[in-house]
């Protein structure tokens, strides 16, 4: 892949300070979040997700990473299923700004992590078993329907895991099944966050993350495969324009 254009040099020291500050935030915010357990969901959600805002402030001030979201006019009034490109940790935090309240599909074992996982549990995510196959598929549909009915956006990363910038993963069908079975719209999101906050990298690359929200995709009366194909096509069509380097879209073999 060609050298990205318009990016600053990676900063190791600032990256180390950032990681230390994130851990410190967990140490402080985690126990405080557990104290919110007796309170209603709306308060728990607001209080616990302040940690996400804290990390985003650190990212901007320590690492010099800013972001620009395009297509906000495409966010519908009706709650739906958000399907987002998955390159980085950034999108798991940043989407809090534009879709509230929200819940996520995640692996059940994450909620067993002391303090951090327990705080996640209080946010009532859609927890599925690793390698659960059809059972996990059913869990996403059943729990997702319940969350949508309670007025919560369901955020899904259809590639399943973070994929390096410049590559694409295999898009999983579970979220499309949820959307079509409930008749809820799908809101696709593309971004290049992996070029600034790479997965498993301490060094962060200063610059501006570009993200784009697409027009809602209606799902009523459609097959899940049709919906997922449209989501994948829209997201991958945006990536060459949003990317600061070459974007061949090579499938990522996991």
The CA distance from 19 to 231, in Å, is 33
Is residue 154 within a helix (H) or strand (E), and if so which, with residue range? strand 153-156
Q: Cα separations (Å) of 238 from 85, 90, 109, 192, 233?
A: 11, 18, 33, 10, 9
Rounded to an integer, what is the distance from CA 95 to the centroid of its chain?
7
Check whether 172 has a pLDDT greater than 50.
Answer: yes
Domain map (residue ranges) of the chain: 12-251
Mention the CATH class of domain 12-251.
Answer: alpha beta
Check whether 219 has a pLDDT greater than 60.
Answer: yes
Residue 16 phi, psi (nearest 5) = -65, -40
Longest dimension (CA), the chain: 53
Query: What's the whole-number mean pLDDT along residues 9-17?
Result: 84
Check whether 4 has a pLDDT greater than 60.
Answer: no
Contact (Cβ atoms closer than 8 angstroms) between residue 79 and residue 102: no
Query: What's the whole-number mean pLDDT along residues 197-225?
Result: 94
**Matching residue, tokens 């599925």:** 128
Q: Considering Cα of 5, then 215, then 149, then 157, what sign does the dihedral take?
A: negative
Render pLDDT for 20-45 as a digit per residue (tens, 0 to 9).
Answer: 999 999 999 999 999 999 999 999 99
Q: Assign 3 a pLDDT band (cuts: 50, 70, 90).
A: very low
Average pLDDT, the chain: 89
**Matching residue, tokens 């909620």:** 111
The CA distance from 122 to 112, in Å, is 12
Of the given ranges (24-28, 137-141, 171-175, 197-201), which has the lowest mean pLDDT?
Answer: 137-141
The CA distance from 89 to 86, in Å, is 8
Contact (Cβ atoms closer than 8 angstroms) between residue 82 and residue 95: yes
């Amino acid at each position: 892949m060609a050298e990205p254009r318009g990016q600053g040099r990676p900063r190791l020291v600032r990256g180390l300070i950032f990681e230390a500050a994130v851990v410190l935030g967990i140490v402080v915010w985690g126990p405080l979040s557990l104290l919110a357990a007796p309170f209603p969901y709306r308060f728990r959600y607001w209080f616990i997700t302040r940690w996400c805002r804290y990390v985003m402030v650190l990212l901007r001030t320590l690492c010099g990473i800013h972001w620009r979201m395009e297509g906000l006019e495409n966010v519908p009034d009706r709650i739906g299923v958000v399907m987002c490109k998955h390159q980085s940790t950034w999108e798991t935090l940043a989407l809090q700004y534009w879709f509230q309240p929200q819940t996520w599909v995640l692996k059940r074992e994450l909620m067993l992590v002391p303090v951090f996982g327990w705080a996640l549990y209080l946010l009532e995510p859609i927890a599925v078993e690793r390698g659960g196959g059809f059972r996990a598929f059913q869990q996403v549909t059943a729990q997702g329907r319940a969350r949508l009915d309670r007025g919560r956006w369901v955020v899904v990363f259809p590639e399943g895991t973070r994929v390096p910038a410049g590559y694409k993963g295999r898009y999983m069908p579970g979220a499309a099944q949820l959307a079509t079975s409930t008749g809820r719209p799908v809101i696709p999101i593309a971004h290049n966050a992996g070029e600034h906050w790479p997965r498993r990298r301490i060094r962060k690359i200063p610059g501006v993350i570009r993200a784009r929200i697409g027009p809602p995709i209606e799902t009523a009366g459609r097959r899940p495969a049709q919906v997922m194909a449209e989501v994948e096509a829209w997201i991958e069509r945006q990536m060459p324009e949003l990317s600061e380097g070459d974007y061949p879209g090579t499938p990522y073999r996991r």
